[in-house]
Amino acid sequence: MLAVVLAESPRQGVRAGPLVVLGHALLELALLAALVVGLGSVLERPSVQTALALVGGAMLLWTAAGAFRFVVQNRAGLDWRTDERPSGRWRTVFAGVWTSLANPYWTIWWATIGLGLLTKAYVLGVAGLAAFYVGHIIGDLTWFTAVSGAIAAGRRFITPRVYTVMLAVSAVLLLAMAVWFLVSGLRGLG
């Protein structure tokens, strides 16, 4: 999600963070509902976690390749401080959904830690679940709004070269995550 916020903030300003979080929040709401009705026990199975690691690793690899292409084709090297091309709000919301789905750690976190936290929140009923969800989303919203605000505010100080380096570092981190999940998935097959 951070890579998307970095990529979209120069064009969309501070709203890039909240738009990405909106997509992420919608997906998490659907997952929360699925976990409440019993999906958690399915996600805890080793075979499912192996499959998630392999599919998620492949999706992260594809996303990293796209980020590298963006940097190599020098699209990031354009003077992004003056690039006012709209990139589409709904596309940015969908990117929040996509980046969450592409990250196998997200699903594994929800199947383990998140499910444990949900169980504790569920003791308080629907109000506990709602409080947990809203608190979680507020944390994401606060962080990614701060990041997009800093990038948007720093437009006049961050050179195109520095921005390209930021995107390249994000692509390298995505690649590292992809490799880690693919290796984890392959180990699960053995």
Average pLDDT over residues 160-183: 86
Average pLDDT, the chain: 83
Model pLDDT, residue 83: 52
Among 122, 153, 143, 131, which Cα is nearest to 40's? 122
Whole-model pTM?
0.71
Q: What tens digit of pLDDT does each residue of 90-120 get?
A: 889 998 998 888 877 787 777 767 777 777 8
User: What are the extents of the domains in the chain?
Assistant: 2-44+77-172
